[in-house]
Amino acid sequence: MPSTFWDHPIETIEKALSIRKQIEALQKTLSDIYGGAKPAAKRRGRPAKAASAAPVAAAGAKVDGRKAPRSAATRAKMAAAAKARWAARKNGATKPAAAKSTAAETPKKKKRTMSPEARARIAAAQRARWAKAKAA
């Protein structure tokens, strides 16, 4: 078995060269058929998004890429709410009035504390668990 290129007989090298020329001619013919477009080189990393995967928007709906299409009426409501928030902020109110009234009406719950007897029972149970673990 020949170890290098030059160790092959000349007939074998000529045959390989002839095959190589045929391959190049076929590649040129193929590129002429497809309009000279070269095959895409393999990319590394995350594959690009396919153009066909883009959702088709209904008439009058807007697609933002992450959410479902929104109707014109929904977008108008959202714009009106945003304008109201900005107007309230401009007039000095930091939160909408509805949120303030509900927060003021709810009374604060009293913080619950544990009785000394309950704490003593928990501490005794924990000491018993540690004693059992040390004995084992």
Q: What is the pLDDT of residue 125?
A: 97
CA-CA distance, 129 to 136, in Å (whole number)?
11
Q: Is residue 19 part of a domain?
A: yes
How far is it, in rounded angstroms, from Cα 102 to Cα 97? 9
Instruction: Give yes or no for a contact between 69 and 63, defined as CB atoms under 8 angstroms apart.
Output: yes
Q: Is 79 within a domain? A: no
Assessment of whether the complete model's pTM goes beyond 0.75: no
- Segment 54-82, tens digit of pLDDT: 555 555 555 556 567 888 999 999 999 99
Asked whether residue 126 is domain-assigned, the answer is: no
If one counts the domains in the chain, the total is 1
Q: Which domain holds residue 28?
A: 1-36
Judge whether 63 lies within some domain: no
Is residue 4 included in any domain, yes or no?
Answer: yes
Question: What is the rounded distance in angstroms from the CA atom of residue 29 to the CA atom of residue 35?
Answer: 10
